[in-house]
C-alpha cells in the first residue's frame, strides 16, 4: 500500500446547513419498521437489454416528432374509443390488437409491447408535487409516508362576489325588498382573467358559485334591508311524495310559470301546489339511489381506470397524487378528488352531478352516527384552487372509493375513477352547528356514458332539463345566491347576519335556521347545467407515464416517469412498477406485462464536465458540522475522509475514488455497465403501510445476496453462487476497503487485520437500484445480529449521503413524552444537563424501578425537552461514482441515521455487512451455503 498519511485532525469550519424537512422513516431502534421483500417472482425477468443508441441529430427530432404524431393521434383515439375497461374479474384480451403490433418475446418468454412514440395531444406533464402551494412538505413529495393531499390548508380568503356590471354594492342604496332573480340564465362561467371584483361594503366573504351577470334592473333589488313584511312564510319540511313524476313534465309546467316565478317564487314553493309537490317528488326520485353500500345495484359499466391500493393509484395517475386527504392540488389548481367512506349526509352523487363537502374536520356524532363537522370550515387553499379551475375551465377528475355511501351503484374495485367534472359551485353551509364548505360538480362530457349509473336505469332528470334554480339577493348583504333547498331560500354568505336562515312568512316570524334533517335539495339546483366552452371535450384518464419517445435516449427509461405506475391497457388497473425490468399487472385475472427496452447509460456519461476526473487524488466536496472531526489520508487512488463523532466509538469513512480507481479493469465503470446488462432481481419491496389501503412499496429497487438480511424474507436472498460478477466483485472490494480502514485506524498492519477479519468477513451484499428521483430515507443499519462494520460502494449518478442524530437521542424524549435514558452524546439537546443527571438516573434504575419510571416522566418537563422536530444533518457526503462509505461501530447506528438521494437517472448502491448466522430465525436461514470471499481483491492494481 502506498500510504501518504496526512492527518489533519481539525474541526471543519463548514457547518452542515442543509436541514431536511423530510419526515423520517422510523429508525430500526424504535422497532417501528421492518422491511420485507417479496422475492417470489425473482429470476423470471429478462435482462435489461442495451439498445443501440440510435438517437438522431437534434434537427431530425422535430421532423421525427411531426412524422409520428398522426400515427399516435390515431392510436390514442382508438384507445379512447374504448367504452369501458375490463375489471378484475374479466380482463378482455387485447391479443388481437397487440398481434397487429410488433409483439416480441423476451428471452424469458414474457411478452412485451413495443413502446409507443410521442403523443403530443395526449401529453401530460408529470406534475411535481413540490409545486403544490398548500401544506404539502416541499421535498417529500413522492414519499407515501409523507405526501399529503391538500385537504385543508391555511384559511384562504376568497374573492368577493362582484357587484352587478362591476358596480360595488351598498346595502343602504335601495329599499327594495327581497327579490328573486330566478329567471337569470344559468350561471355564466367567468371569462378567464376576468376575476371577480369586490363589493365595497364590509362584507360578505364570497361563498357562492361563478360570478353571474345580473341586469342593472336587478341591481336595485340587491340592497334591500330585510323587513318583517319582506320575509317569506315560515318553513315547514315537506314530506317526500311517493309518486315520482317525470322531468319533462315538470320542465314543461315550470316553463309556462316563468313569469309568475319572477313575480313571486315563494308562492310556488310554499303553496301545496302541483309544481311544489312535483319538485319534492323529483327530489325524492333523485335521492332514491343514495343508499348504503350493501344495497347498491350493479353499475351499468366498468371503470376505465381503477386501483386496488392508494399507492398504486397515486403513483400512476397524474391527476391524483394525494396519499392522504380527499383532494390533490398542484400548481394552484385542483386536479382530482377522491370521495370515499367519510362523507356528509348531504353529499350527493348521480350519473352527472356530485355534491360534496370539503375534506377534513368531520367527527362521528355519538347519537346519530352521522359525520358532523368538528369545527367551522372556511374557504381554504382547496377552495381557492377550485376557483382557479372554474376561472380557467379546468375540469377535475373525481375518483370514488368502494365505501363511498353516495355513489349510486356498487363500485367494482377499491378505487374507481369516475370522470372529468366541472366544479360549478363553492359555498358555505351550516351543519351540526358548524360551518362547512361545499362543492358542486357536473360531468364535463355528457355524451359519455357514466359507468357508475345503476344498471338498467336511466338518469331521472337530464342536466339542464329543469328551469334554472331560483336566485335571490340577500336583503342584508346584497349577494345573489341560488336556492339550494326546497325548504326555502337562504343567504350563504358566512359573515352575513342572514347566513343560513330561512326567512319567515308573515309579519311576526323571525328568520330561522332550518332543521338539518328536513332539508331537501331543490332539483332545479341539483340538475342545472353550467355551460363551459370545453363541454364534451374528452381528456384522457390514462396517464402516459410509460411512453418512450421512440428514440434511444440515454436515461429516458430510468427517468421518474418510468418507475411510476401505468394503467394496464388490458384491464384498466393502475400497475405500480415493482420490478426493475418493467410492469406486471397485479390483477390475477390479467397477464399483462411490459418491459421497456433499456438504453445503456455508458459509464463515460457519468463524468462531470465541471469536476474533471484525474489520476490525482480527487478533491473533497463533503461538508460536516463543527462537532465532527475529519482525518484525511490518501491510499490506492482514494482520498479517504475519516470522520469521528464525539461520544461515538467508531468512524465514518468516505473513500473518494479517482480516475484510476473508476477505470480499473473490472472496477466501478465496468460494474456499472454490467449491472445494467444483467437482471440481478431488483424489485421494490413492500413495507408496513400505516393507514394506506393496499401495500406500501419503498421508493427504490433492492435484492439481497448471501446471508439473508434480517429485514428481508428468507426466500428473498440469493446465493453468491452464480451471482452476477458485480455482486461478488463488490463483496471482495469492500472486504479489502474495510480492512484498509481498520488497519489505518488501529495502526495495525493489513496482515494483522486480515486474520481477525477473515472470521467475520462480509457475508452479505444488499444491492439497491435507484431510478431518477428514487432515494432511501433516513434509517440505520443497526439491526440485531449485524457486525459493527458496514460498507457501501456507490455506482452511477452522484449521491448525497446525509447523517443526523436520531430524534429520540437528540431530544432525549420519546414521542410519548418519556425521557430516553440512553447516555447523552455531544450535540444533543441539553447535553450538559442530561449528562449531569445520568448517574443518578442509572442508580435509580438499579434500585427503584417505580421511582425511576416516575423520574423519566418528570425530566422532560424539568429540562424543557420536546419531542418534535428532527436534528440537523451533521455530515453531508457527496458520493461520486466508485466512492465507498464505511461506517464502523455499533454506536453510529444506535445514535445516528442516514439517508441517500441522488441527482441523476441511474444509481446503484451495493452494501456489505456481516450477518451473524446465529442471529437468524430458523425460517430465515438460507438453504444454500454462504461461502467465503474467494476473489481476493487487494487494491494492488491501484498501488
Ligand atoms: O448509498 C446508498 O444508497 C445507501 C445504502 C444504504 O443506506 C443501505 O443499504 O442501508
Q: What is the CATH number of the domain that holds 424?
A: 2.30.280.10
Instruction: Tell whether 370 and 407 lie within a shared domain.
Output: yes
Element holding 250 (H helix, E strand): helix 247-256
28 lines ligand 1 (CB under 6 A): no
What is d(CA 81, CA 674) in angstroms, rounded to the nearest whole number?
A: 43
Residue 217 CB contacts under 8 Å (≥ 6 apart), including other chains = none
Q: Give pLDDT tens digits for 521-533.
A: 999 999 999 999 9
Average pLDDT over residues 717-731: 97
pLDDT for 352 beyond 90: yes
pLDDT for 103 beyond 50: no
Instruction: Tell whether 765 and 880 lie within a shared domain.
Output: yes
Instruction: Tell whether 625 and 579 lie within a shared domain.
Output: no
What are phi and psi for residue 186, nearest 5 degrees?
Answer: -50, 150
Instruction: Tell whether 761 and 849 lie within a shared domain.
Output: no
pLDDT for 464 beyond 90: yes
- Which one of 395, 413, 443 terminates a domain? 443
Instruction: Tell whether 428 and 574 lie within a shared domain.
Output: no
Given this model, what pLDDT does residue 284 score? Answer: 87
- Which of 256-265, 472-481, 567-576, 611-620 is predicted with the least confidence, judged by mean pLDDT? 256-265
Longest Cα–Cα distance of the chain, Å, equals 105
pLDDT for 170 beyond 70: no
**647 lies in some domain:** yes
Average pLDDT over residues 543-556: 90
Instruction: Tell whether 794 and 662 lie within a shared domain.
Output: yes
- Which of 249-263, 433-447, 575-589, 697-711 is predicted with the least confidence, judged by mean pLDDT? 249-263
Query: Residue 504: which pLDDT band, with cuts at 50, 70 and 90?
Result: confident
Given this model, what pLDDT does residue 783 score? Answer: 85
Given this model, what pLDDT does residue 37 score? Answer: 26
Are 754 and 736 within 8 A, CB to CB? no
> Which atom of ligand 1 has the smallest separation from the CA of 794?
1
Residue 245 CB contacts under 8 Å (≥ 6 apart), including other chains = 278, 281, 282, 285
Average pLDDT over residues 174-188: 28
Instruction: Tell whether 668 and 715 lie within a shared domain.
Output: yes
Domain boundaries, position 571: 58-126+561-594
pLDDT for 729 beyond 60: yes
Report the candidate in 353, 325, 522 with the shortest Cα–Cα distance to residue 422.
Answer: 353
Distance 708 CA to ligand 1 centre (A): 16
Report the candidate in 807, 808, 811, 812 with the shortest Cα–Cα distance to residue 841.
Answer: 812
Distance 776 CA to ligand 1 centre (A): 7
Are 222 and 478 within 8 A, CB to CB? yes
**932 lies in some domain:** no
Given this model, what pLDDT does residue 741 score? Answer: 98
Instruction: Tell whether 278 and 318 lie within a shared domain.
Output: no
pLDDT for 871 beyond 70: yes
Query: Residue 363: which pLDDT band, with cuts at 50, 70 and 90?
Result: low
Given this model, what pLDDT does residue 40 score? Answer: 29
**547 lies in some domain:** no
Query: Residue 660: which pLDDT band, with cuts at 50, 70 and 90?
Result: very high
**449 lies in some domain:** no
Question: Can you say how many angstroms the Cα of residue 554 is from the centroid of all Cα atoms in its chain?
Answer: 27
What is d(CA 849, CA 748) in angstroms, rounded to the nearest whole number?
A: 45
pLDDT for 268 beyond 50: no
Residue 607 CB contacts under 8 Å (≥ 6 apart), including other chains = 613
CA distance between the termini of the chain: 6
Q: How many C-beta atoms lie closer than 10 Å to residue 839's C-beta?
A: 10
Burial 695-716 (b: 16+ CB within 10 A, else e): bbbbbbbbbbbbbbbbbbbbbb
429 lines ligand 1 (CB under 6 A): no
3-class secondary structure per residue, 389-447: HHHHCCCEEEEEECCCCCCCCCCCCCEEEEEEEEEEEEEEEEECCEEEEEEEEEECCCC
Query: Residue 873: which pLDDT band, with cuts at 50, 70 and 90?
Result: very high
Calculate the dihedral angle through the C-alpha atoms of 413, 416, 418, 419, rounding to the nearest 10 degrees.
-140
Q: Which residue has the higher pLDDT, 353 or 160?
A: 353
Instruction: Tell whether 825 and 845 lie within a shared domain.
Output: yes
> Which atom of ligand 1 has the smallest separation from the CA of 792?
1
Given this model, what pLDDT does residue 378 score? Answer: 80
Given this model, what pLDDT does residue 916 score? Answer: 94
Q: Supply the CATH number for residue 672's domain.
A: 2.60.120.590
Residue 291 CB contacts under 8 Å (≥ 6 apart), including other chains = none
**Domain count across the chain:** 5
- The cell for 218 is 336587478
Distance 67 CA to ligand 1 centre (A): 44
Query: Residue 667: which pLDDT band, with cuts at 50, 70 and 90?
Result: very high
What is d(CA 635, CA 629) in angstroms, rounded to the nearest whole number?
A: 20
Given this model, what pLDDT does residue 639 score? Answer: 98
911 lines ligand 1 (CB under 6 A): yes
Q: Which residue has the higher pLDDT, 807 or 85?
A: 807
Given this model, what pLDDT does residue 52 score? Answer: 35
pLDDT for 716 beyond 80: no
pLDDT for 100 beyond 80: no
What is d(CA 337, CA 353) in angstroms, rounded to the nearest whole number?
A: 14
**576 lies in some domain:** yes
884 lines ligand 1 (CB under 6 A): no
Are 275 and 315 within 8 A, CB to CB? no
Kindly report the average pLDDT of the chain as a whole number: 75
The residues pairing with 907 across neighbouring beta strands, listed in sequence order, are 770, 796
Instruction: Tell whether 305 and 366 lie within a shared domain.
Output: yes
Nearest CA to ligand 1 atom 8: 911
Q: Which residue carries 425473482 as its cell?
A: 42
Distance 781 CA to ligand 1 centre (A): 9
Q: Give pLDDT tens digits for 849-864.
A: 999 999 999 999 999 9
What is d(CA 709, CA 764) in angstroms, rounded to the nearest whole number?
A: 7
pLDDT for 223 beyond 50: no
Average pLDDT over residues 327-338: 96
Given this model, what pLDDT does residue 931 score? Answer: 95
Residue 813 CB contacts under 8 Å (≥ 6 apart), including other chains = 819, 820, 859, 860, 865, 866, 867
781 lines ligand 1 (CB under 6 A): yes
Q: How many C-beta atoms lie closer than 10 Å to residue 101's C-beta?
A: 12
Given this model, what pLDDT does residue 237 score? Answer: 31
The residues pairing with 435 across neighbouring beta strands, listed in sequence order, are 430
698 lines ligand 1 (CB under 6 A): no
Average pLDDT over residues 698-717: 78
**371 lies in some domain:** yes
- The cell for 280 is 319534492
Given this model, what pLDDT does residue 432 score? Answer: 83
**682 lies in some domain:** yes
Q: How far is CA 257 from CA 261, 267, 275, 467, 771, in A?
A: 6, 12, 10, 10, 65
pLDDT for 794 beyond 70: yes
Burial of 80 (0-12, 13-18, 19+ CB in 10 A): middle
Given this model, what pLDDT does residue 287 score? Answer: 82
Q: How far is CA 77 from CA 66, 72, 399, in A?
A: 17, 8, 23
Given this model, what pLDDT does residue 149 score? Answer: 37
Query: Residue 275: which pLDDT band, with cuts at 50, 70 and 90?
Result: confident
Share of the chain above pLDDT 90, in %: 57
Instruction: Tell whether 72 and 17 lie within a shared domain.
Output: no
Distance 911 CA to ligand 1 centre (A): 6
Given this model, what pLDDT does residue 338 score? Answer: 95
Distance 712 CA to ligand 1 centre (A): 15
- Which of 36-45, 329-338, 595-604 is predicted with the least confidence, judged by mean pLDDT? 36-45
Q: How far is CA 428 from CA 66, 159, 207, 403, in A?
A: 49, 14, 6, 25
Reduced to 3 states (helix: H, G, I; strand: E, B; else coil), residue 579 is strand
What is d(CA 119, CA 69) in angstroms, rounded to the nearest whole number?
A: 6
What number of CA atoms fall less than 13 Å from residue 59's CA on the CB side?
0
Given this model, what pLDDT does residue 523 score? Answer: 95
> Which atom of ligand 1 has the smallest separation from the CA of 801?
1
**155 lies in some domain:** no
Given this model, what pLDDT does residue 57 score? Answer: 34
Average pLDDT over residues 424-433: 92
Instruction: Tell whether 629 and 770 lie within a shared domain.
Output: yes
282 lines ligand 1 (CB under 6 A): no
- Which of 230-239, 376-385, 767-776 is predicted with the least confidence, judged by mean pLDDT? 230-239
Q: Give pLDDT tens digits for 741-757.
A: 999 999 999 999 999 99
Q: Which residue has the higher pLDDT, 100 or 435?
A: 435
Q: How many C-beta atoms lie closer than 10 Å to residue 465's C-beta?
A: 16
Amino acid at each position: 500500500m502506498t500510504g501518504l498519511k496526512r492527518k489533519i485532525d481539525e474541526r471543519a469550519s463548514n457547518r452542515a446547513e442543509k436541514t431536511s424537512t423530510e419526515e423520517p422513516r422510523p429508525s430500526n431502534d424504535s422497532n417501528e419498521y421492518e422491511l420485507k421483500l417479496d422475492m417470489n417472482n425473482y429470476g423470471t425477468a429478462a435482462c435489461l437489454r442495451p439498445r443501440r443508441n440510435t438517437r438522431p441529430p437534434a434537427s431530425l427530432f422535430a421532423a421525427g416528432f411531426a412524422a409520428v404524431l398522426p400515427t399516435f393521434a390515431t392510436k390514442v383515439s382508438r384507445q379512447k374509443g374504448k367504452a369501458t375497461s375490463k375489471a378484475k374479474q374479466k380482463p378482455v384480451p387485447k391479443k388481437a390488437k397487440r398481434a397487429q403490433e410488433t409483439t416480441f418475446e423476451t428471452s424469458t418468454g414474457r411478452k412485451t409491447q413495443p413502446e409507443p412514440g410521442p403523443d403530443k395531444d395526449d401529453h401530460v406533464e408529470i406534475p411535481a408535487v413540490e409545486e403544490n402551494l398548500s401544506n404539502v412538505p416541499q421535498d417529500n413529495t413522492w414519499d407515501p409516508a409523507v405526501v399529503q393531499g391538500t385537504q385543508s390548508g391555511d384559511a384562504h380568503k376568497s374573492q368577493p362576489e362582484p357587484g352587478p356590471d362591476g358596480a360595488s354594492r351598498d346595502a343602504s342604496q335601495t329599499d327594495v325588498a327581497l327579490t328573486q332573480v330566478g329567471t337569470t340564465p344559468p350561471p355564466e362561467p367567468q371569462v378567464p382573467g376576468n376575476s371577480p371584483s369586490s363589493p365595497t361594503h364590509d362584507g360578505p366573504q364570497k361563498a357562492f358559485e361563478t360570478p353571474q351577470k345580473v341586469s342593472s334592473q336587478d341591481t336595485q333589488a340587491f340592497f334591500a334591508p330585510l323587513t318583517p313584511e319582506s320575509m317569506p312564510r315560515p318553513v315547514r319540511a315537506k314530506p317526500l311524495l311517493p309518486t315520482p313524476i317525470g322531468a319533462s313534465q315538470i320542465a314543461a309546467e315550470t316553463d309556462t310559470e316563468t313569469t309568475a316565478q319572477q313575480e313571486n317564487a315563494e308562492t310556488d314553493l310554499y303553496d301545496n301546489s302541483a309544481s311544489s309537490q312535483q319538485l319534492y317528488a323529483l327530489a325524492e326520485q333523485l335521492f332514491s339511489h343514495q343508499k348504503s353500500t350493501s344495497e347498491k345495484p350493479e353499475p351499468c359499466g366498468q371503470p376505465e381506470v381503477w386501483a386496488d391500493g392508494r399507492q398504486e393509484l397515486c403513483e400512476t395517475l397524474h391527476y391524483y397524487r394525494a396519499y392522504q386527504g380527499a383532494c390533490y392540488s398542484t400548481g394552484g389548481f385542483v386536479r382530482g378528488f377522491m370521495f370515499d367512506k367519510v362523507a356528509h349526509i348531504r353529499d350527493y352523487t348521480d350519473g352527472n352531478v356530485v355534491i360534496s363537502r370539503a375534506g377534513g374536520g368531520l367527527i362521528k356524532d355519538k347519537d346519530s352516527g352521522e359525520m358532523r363537522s368538528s369545527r367551522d370550515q372556511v374557504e381554504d387553499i382547496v377552495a381557492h384552487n377550485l376557483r382557479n379551475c372554474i376561472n380557467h375551465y379546468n375540469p377535475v377528475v373525481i375518483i370514488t372509493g368502494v365505501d363511498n355511501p353516495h355513489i349510486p351503484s356498487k363500485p367494482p374495485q377499491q378505487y374507481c375513477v369516475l370522470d372529468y367534472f366541472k366544479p360549478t359551485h363553492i359555498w358555505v353551509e351550516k351543519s351540526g352547528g358548524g360551518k362547512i364548505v361545499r362543492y358542486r360538480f357536473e360531468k364535463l362530457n355528457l355524451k359519455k356514458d357514466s359507468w357508475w349509473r345503476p344498471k338498467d336505469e336511466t338518469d331521472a332528470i337530464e342536466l339542464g332539463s329543469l328551469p334554472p334554480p331560483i336566485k335571490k339577493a340577500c336583503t342584508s348583504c346584497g349577494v345573489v345566491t341560488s336556492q339550494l333547498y326546497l325548504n326555502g331560500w337562504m343567504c350563504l354568505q358566512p359573515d352575513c347576519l342572514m347566513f343560513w336562515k330561512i326567512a319567515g312568512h308573515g309579519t311576526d316570524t323571525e328568520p330561522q335556521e332550518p332543521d338539518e334533517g328536513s332539508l331537501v335539495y331543490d332539483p332545479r339546483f341539483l340538475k342545472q347545467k353550467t355551460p363551459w366552452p370545453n363541454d364534451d371535450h374528452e381528456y384522457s384518464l390514462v396517464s402516459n407515464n410509460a411512453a418512450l419517445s421512440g428514440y434511444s435516449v440515454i436515461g429516458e427509461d430510468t427517468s421518474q416517469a418510468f418507475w411510476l405506475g401505468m394503467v394496464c391497457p388490458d384491464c384498466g388497473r393502475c400497475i405500480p412498477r415493482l420490478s426493475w425490468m418493467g410492469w406486471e399487472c397485479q390483477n390475477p385475472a390479467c397477464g399483462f406485462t411490459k418491459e421497456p427496452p433499456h438504453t445503456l447509460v455508458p459509464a463515460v456519461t457519468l463524468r462531470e464536465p465541471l469536476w474533471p476526473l484525474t489520476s490525482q487524488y480527487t478533491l473533497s466536496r463533503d461538508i460536516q458540522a463543527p462537532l465532527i472531526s475529519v482525518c484525511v489520508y490518501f491510499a490506492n487512488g482514494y482520498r479517504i475522509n475519516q470522520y469521528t463523532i464525539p461520544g461515538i466509538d467508531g468512524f465514518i469513512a468516505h473513500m473518494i475514488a479517482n480516475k484510476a480507481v473508476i477505470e480499473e479493469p473490472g472496477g466501478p465503470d465496468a460494474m456499472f455497465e454490467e449491472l445494467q446488462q444483467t437482471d440481478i432481481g431488483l424489485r421494490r419491496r413492500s413495507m408496513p403501510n400505516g393507514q394506506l389501503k393496499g401495500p406500501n412499496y419503498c421508493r427504490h429497487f433492492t435484492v439481497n445476496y448471501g446471508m439473508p438480511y434480517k429485514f428481508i424474507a428468507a426466500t428473498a436472498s440469493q446465493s453468491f453462487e452464480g451471482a452476477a460478477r458485480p455482486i461478488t466483485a463488490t463483496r471482495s472490494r469492500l472486504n479489502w476497503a474495510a480492512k484498509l480502514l481498520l488497519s489505518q485506524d488501529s495502526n495495525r498492519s493489513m496482515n494483522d487485520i486480515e486474520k481477525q477479519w477473515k472470521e467475520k468477513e462480509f457475508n452479505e451484499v444488499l444491492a439497491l437500484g435507484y431510478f431518477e428521483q428514487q432515494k432511501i430515507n433516513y434509517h440505520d443499519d443497526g439491526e440485531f445480529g449485524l457486525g459493527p462494520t458496514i460498507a457501501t460502494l456507490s455506482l452511477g449518478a452522484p449521491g448525497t449521503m446525509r447523517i443526523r442524530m436520531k430524534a429520540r437521542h437528540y431530544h432525549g424524549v420519546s414521542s410519548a413524552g418519556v425521557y430516553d435514558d440512553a447516555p447523552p452524546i455531544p450535540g444533543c439537546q441539553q447535553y450538559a444537563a442530561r449528562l449531569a443527571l445520568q448517574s443518578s438516573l442509572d442508580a435509580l434504575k438499579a434500585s427503584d424501578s417505580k421511582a425511576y419510571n416516575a423520574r423519566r416522566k418528570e425530566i422532560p418537563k424539568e429540562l424543557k425537552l420536546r419531542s418534535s422536530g428532527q436534528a440537523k444533518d451533521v455530515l453531508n457526503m457527496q458520493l461520486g461514482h466508485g466512492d465507498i462509505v464505511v461506517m464502523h461501530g455499533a454506536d453510529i447506528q444506535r445514535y445516528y441515521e442516514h439517508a441517500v438521494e441522488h441527482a441523476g437517472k441511474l444509481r446503484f448502491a451495493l452494501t456489505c455487512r456481516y450477518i451473524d448466522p446465529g442471529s437468524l430465525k430458523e425460517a430465515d436461514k438460507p438453504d444454500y451455503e454462504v461461502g467465503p470471499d474467494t476473489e481476493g481483491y487487494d487494491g494492488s492494481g491501484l498501488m
